[in-house]
Structure 1
Amino acid sequence: MRRVLAVAATLLALAMPAFAGTNVVPALKQFGEPLFKPDFQHFPHSDPDAPKGGAVTLAAPGSFDSLNGLILRGVPPRTLGLISDTLMVPSGWELDAAYGALAESVELPDDRSWAIFTLRAGAHWHDGEPVTARDVVFTWDQLQAHGAPFLKSFLDRVKTVEALDDRRVKITVNGVGDIKPIIDFAVTLTPQPQHWWTANGRDISKTTLEPPLGSGPYRIKSVDAGRSVVYERVADYWGRDLPVNRGLYNFDSVKIDYYRDDDVMFEAFKAGAYDFRPEYRAQRWSTGYDFPAMQDGRIVKLAVPSDLPLGAQGFRLNTRRAAFADPKVREALGLLFDFDWIRKNILSGQYRRTRSNFPNSEFGASGLPSPAELALLDPFRASLPERLFTQPYEPPTTDGSGNNRAQQREATRLFKEAGWEARNGKLTNVKSGEIFRIEFLDGSGALTRVIQPYIEALRKIGVEASLRIVDSAQYQARLDDFDFDAVVVNMNFFTPPGTELRGYFGSAAAATKGSANYAGIREPAADSLIEKALSAKDLDSVQAATRALDRVLLWGFYMIPHWHNPDNWIAHKTWLAHPATPPKYDQDYRNSNFPATWWVDSAKLGARP
């Protein structure tokens, strides 16, 4: 009866008259029509008959010191999203679509200048209070006042958010004709309970370790600050029967243990301390899983293919510092990173070299610029390197032997052109007498085995290179303040790329502490191409703009590219089960490390030795 009434209420709401010239839809898609029709029952990568129950222990690197994920300060758990809902969610099968979660429908005008989200009548917080449009407005207002700069920049095309009544919230966007800022708002903003945050002296602008009230499939049961967090499944979760949630969130209990050292974390897995492990180290994946639990079948390995466009991992050089302001210096530093030797000797021959800021996607540059790209680049030809127009970008290559003298000679030449030369074995600025120094900042130590050979290569030509490993809180604080020379960052993007481009590469973000423009890029051509990508009306135009942008960034040598792996490497205990079909564009393994569609196979769990 409860479900019948809910369906009846939904049909009644959808039957209500809309504004003239508008459409009311249950799903959004930027280009074309949504893949899943309004009557779909569940996503193909979930099993609606998956049993609920059991407990799983996961592991995470580093630490956490806050349970407030809205603000800049503090480091929250990556799994904090388990306690909350968004208005809509992606499907895992499309790159530009969203389906209703908190929102049952969206009303849109033809010009896409605004949207009205109607919240589901049964959506409620864990204390039973309904989720209202006022909660959405409250969250938006607090984000504008106290939110992390990158999140604010990601949603900066949203102009206003207003509650029309208890269940309807209207957003107005800057510009017309583009649905992407509406989709971004729907899948990104996590409404917070106004009645909870404004009670008992709580302050949403500050960090807290008090478990926040949520509306999602889990609540926080216990917290050991910086060491572990335990979630428990909400048995009466209001959204458990939504098509977007069927077959998901199956564990009754989820514990996340934190480890400050990656090697210690792996040893804990070998000892059985946790149950599910994504693996990011090729050498370990190839040779490290030979311990007893693997040999006797208690643990199995799984390679999960994914077509998900990936973020570009690499060393980001802080051009705010004078030593790295010259592109010749940045190019020289890139020449001395011998990826081929590292791939052969450290990465066990695995991984693909990253050649774009948009790897594993159709948004990155390849070959020479197309006519559409040239039309966008030509107005800036005088300020761009000629090679951008005449050569495809390729990162340096070697034979992998470690004998990269040709690269050393070319790097030395570039340093000399930039005003640096070797004196008494030290690379020295010919004008100031300053010695060239570079410090690599790391928050976990996981990449020490890659960074250290690079440091040795830099020292060979007189660079004073060093590695500094700090705890996760200090690491995040220094990133937010741009207090580093070089840092390894993996820049994920939504597809098609949107306002996150401003946060990653825009000039305004370069001066905004807490933004993701770690390199400090201030490039008029990049700013123009970002806006072209954001204003594009079709996929071809988006791709032309992002490919042209990619060329500007690559030939500016703001990043020393690393590598990427299109597959997800997973090791897990055999009593964990999963659907046969993974999503085409998986997010869970890479973003939160939470296996949302998995469950406990009680028969295998009971049969374990």
Structure 2
Amino acid sequence: MSNRFTQIRHHAVVILAVLATAGIALPVSAATHGIALYGEPALPADYEHLPQANPDAPVGGTFSDGQVGTFDSLNPHILQGNTPWQLRFLAYESLLGRAYDEPFTLYGLLAESVEVSDDNTQITFTLNPEARFSDGTPVTVDDVIWSWNILGQQGANGRYRPAFAKVKDVEPVGERGIRFTIHAPDRELLMTLGLRPIMKAAQYADDEAAFFRSGLSNIPVTSAPYVVTDVDPGRSVVLERDPDYWGADLPFRRGTNVIDTIRMEFFGDATAHFEAFKAGELSSMRETNATAWARDYDFPAVRSGEVVLSEIPHQRPTGMTGLVMNTRRPFFDDWRVREALIQAFNFEYVNNVVNAGAQPRITSYYANSPLAMDHGPAEGRVAELLEPLSADLLPGTLEGYSLPESDGKLSNRRGLRTAAKLLAEAGYTVENGVLMGDTGPVTFEILMQTGSSEVQTIVDIYVEALKRLGIDARAVAIDSAQYTERMNSYDFDMTWFTRGLSLSPGNEQLAYWGPDGVDQPGSRNWMGADDPAIGAMIDAMLSAESQEDYTAAVKALDRVLTAGRYVIPVWHNPVSWIAHRADLKYPADRLPIYGDFIGFQPDVWWIED
């Protein structure tokens, strides 16, 4: 890029910034039905339905979903309490809805149109005049602004707060418009502002503090197709499809959310959950274990055809699943210790015990996708992004990092020898079979939620391996409410960890592993990652002006995270395994690229008589 071009571009940005500061409206693109991160939405303005939806799906029936654990709150937007999974999406609509058949495209939902300024610092949503809450009252500009403001407060779920500081102003535009102005160009941030849940401000007009109080007495007034109709504390929640839902005929909703009743049933452990499904009490069962899928799904209902076994492929990243180390704890703050603990984990043996060796290992955060880091030395644009930070990058970031492989035997001698050497380099010694540090014997907890026999098996095997290094690791299982509280305050040493990642990473990466989450409670940065290279790669990703630069930045971020050695990765499923009643159908001929993900079940499923 020439110096002359750089100067012209700089002057243009300065002029736009001055105009915005003066309150002068910036040039905007024409109002559209949708918005894409790069290019244009795949669906035209007059589209009839989402590609993954069946517009002729029959309406009616009951879907019974099982969940392990319990719940003590119906507000998924706050830090306190444990909320039923998916309630956020079944009860709360957003201005725009995500199309899971495209990497990152949003279409109008509560908003009938969206406009973005040419410099990507402003976005204006125009509400659909027909948008209504479940009590029949209209969704207003005030509701949108109130929802935005309340989600940015302390006590709200940490996933919403990082974006709050980046928004300079939120203002009404006429009767149905809401304009957000951000401090610096960021198209991805502007898009995600359209995904915030919209709540009814008047529900909390007399006592706004009630929004932050956990409990089951405050039944939400919903903005989505379902309403909460029955609650059995800790045991079940029932949602009914709102027959007067205003958006049933919207193109985005046509053929979705057609099941009349959704029951969420809660079980104390995975065994009780599975037995309830076998007994016909539940409609569907997701299986994550390859051995169990091959071994345990030959019960009478399967043989008779009453239950169908479906395999749903997907093209999304593996994300990260495994044992995460809390680097806020001194022992885990040294990368050599973290590498030692990875070396001590005998993946091949554990995978054989748990999965008969059938499931592939997660090799990086964005593996299984075009965004995954390339193994071996960094090259091209990825190397250019990382090189200025090379002096502070952990070993393996630039050179290439790969997880260790064992011979599959229980002894794992090579891995344990490597681990012992790394621990010695980090200053630890073994005395009478006990690993000693500056403060005495090394001991830590591996925290789990009660009810997962698979995780318990993994941890039990690992604890025995750590004993051979002189480490006293203890497996501790607690209930889901205690677990949520401790995760929000980062009160753990090591725990089971899952982060699903998308094909369009953006500002949410700051919540996952950004610097604010090191000390600020309630973020998703459980590992306490505090590496400036992470922030730099996220910045490069958010400011990318082309798909090529964007991909390079994500690949570079993948390298930094993987070489950070924060998590001991286990396996992933390139397909989702779902056992379900034969009358419960899904559009198998039009699966989205995300497969079985948010927005799939029960959203595009239906029940046939």
TM-score, normalization by structure 2: 0.92
Question: Of the candidates 444, 448, 451, which is equivalent to residue 442 of structure 1?
Answer: 448
Partner residue in 2 for 1:235: 243
Partner residue in 2 for 1:53: 60
| 1:377 matches 2:386 | yes
The alpha-carbon distance between structure 1 residues 52 and 225, as it changes in their structure 2 partners (threshold 3 A), is same
**Cα deviation code 1:221-246 (max 9, x no counterpart):** 10111211000111111000011111
The answer as to whether partners of 2:134 and 2:222 remain within 8 angstroms in 1 is: yes
Partner residue in 1 for 2:333: 325
- After TM superposition, the structure 1 = structure 2 runs for residues 205-244 of structure 1, keeping only pairs within 5 Å, are 205-209=212-216, 210-244=218-252
- The residue type equivalent to 2:298 in the other structure is D
Partner residue in 1 for 2:254: 246
Question: Of the candidates 542, 545, 561, which is equivalent to residue 537 of structure 1?
Answer: 545
The answer as to whether partners of 2:318 and 2:362 remain within 8 angstroms in 1 is: no
| 1:171 matches 2:180 | yes
**Cα deviation code 1:150-178 (max 9, x no counterpart):** 221255533322222331111112212x3
- The residue type equivalent to 1:57 in the other structure is S
| 1:32 matches 2:39 | yes
Partner residue in 2 for 1:255: 263
The answer as to whether partners of 2:62 and 2:259 remain within 8 angstroms in 1 is: yes
In the TM superposition, residue 260 of structure 1 has moved relative to its aligned partner by 2.5
- The residue type equivalent to 1:291 in the other structure is F
SS in structure 2 of the partner of residue 416 of structure 1: helix
| 1:198 matches 2:205 | yes
Partner residue in 2 for 1:44: 51
CA distance in 1, matches of 2:597, 2:120: 32
**Cα deviation code 1:113-167 (max 9, x no counterpart):** 1111011111111111100111000011111224212221255533322222331
Partner residue in 2 for 1:508: 516
SS in structure 1 of the partner of residue 194 of structure 2: helix
- The residue type equivalent to 1:329 in the other structure is V
- The residue type equivalent to 1:105 in the other structure is S
- Stretches of structure 1 that go unaligned for 5 or more consecutive residues are 1-17, 603-609
CA distance in 1, matches of 2:32, 2:313: 32
CA distance in 2, matches of 1:44, 1:104: 19
CA distance in 1, matches of 2:46, 2:447: 50
The alpha-carbon distance between structure 1 residues 97 and 316, as it changes in their structure 2 partners (threshold 3 A), is same
SS in structure 2 of the partner of residue 72 of structure 1: coil
- Aligned-residue Cα RMSD (Å) equals 1.8
In the TM superposition, residue 281 of structure 1 has moved relative to its aligned partner by 1.8
Partner residue in 1 for 2:12: none
Question: Of the candidates 115, 121, 129, which is equivalent to residue 129 of structure 2?
Answer: 121
SS in structure 2 of the partner of residue 150 of structure 1: coil
Question: Of the candidates 554, 559, 564, which is equivalent to residue 567 of structure 2?
Answer: 559
CA distance in 2, matches of 1:20, 1:575: 52
Partner residue in 1 for 2:586: 578
Partner residue in 1 for 2:19: none
In the TM superposition, residue 496 of structure 1 has moved relative to its aligned partner by 2.3
In the TM superposition, residue 95 of structure 1 has moved relative to its aligned partner by 1.1
| 1:396 matches 2:404 | yes
Partner residue in 2 for 1:3: none
The alpha-carbon distance between structure 1 residues 263 and 591, as it changes in their structure 2 partners (threshold 3 A), is farther
- Stretches of structure 2 that go unaligned for 5 or more consecutive residues are 1-24
CA distance in 2, matches of 1:600, 1:54: 6
Q: Which moved more, 1:529-538 or 1:328-337?
A: 529-538
**Cα deviation code 1:51-108 (max 9, x no counterpart):** 1111121111211111112221112112212122111111121111000110100122
Question: Of the candidates 29, 49, 54, which is equivalent to residue 22 of structure 1?
Answer: 29
CA distance in 1, matches of 2:601, 2:395: 46
**Cα deviation code 1:340-376 (max 9, x no counterpart):** 1122221123222111122322222112201212222
CA distance in 2, matches of 1:254, 1:207: 23
SS in structure 1 of the partner of residue 56 of structure 2: coil
The answer as to whether partners of 1:57 and 1:254 remain within 8 angstroms in 2 is: yes
- The residue type equivalent to 2:540 in the other structure is K
Partner residue in 2 for 1:274: 282
Aligned residues: 579
The answer as to whether partners of 1:286 and 1:348 remain within 8 angstroms in 2 is: no
CA distance in 1, matches of 2:64, 2:515: 42
- The residue type equivalent to 1:372 in the other structure is R
The answer as to whether partners of 1:380 and 1:525 remain within 8 angstroms in 2 is: yes
CA distance in 1, matches of 2:28, 2:523: 38
The answer as to whether partners of 2:514 and 2:535 remain within 8 angstroms in 1 is: yes
The answer as to whether partners of 2:169 and 2:182 remain within 8 angstroms in 1 is: yes
Q: % of aligned pairs identical?
A: 35
CA distance in 1, matches of 2:427, 2:249: 65
The answer as to whether partners of 1:496 and 1:542 remain within 8 angstroms in 2 is: no
CA distance in 1, matches of 2:110, 2:396: 50
The alpha-carbon distance between structure 1 residues 295 and 228, as it changes in their structure 2 partners (threshold 3 A), is same
SS in structure 1 of the partner of residue 85 of structure 2: coil
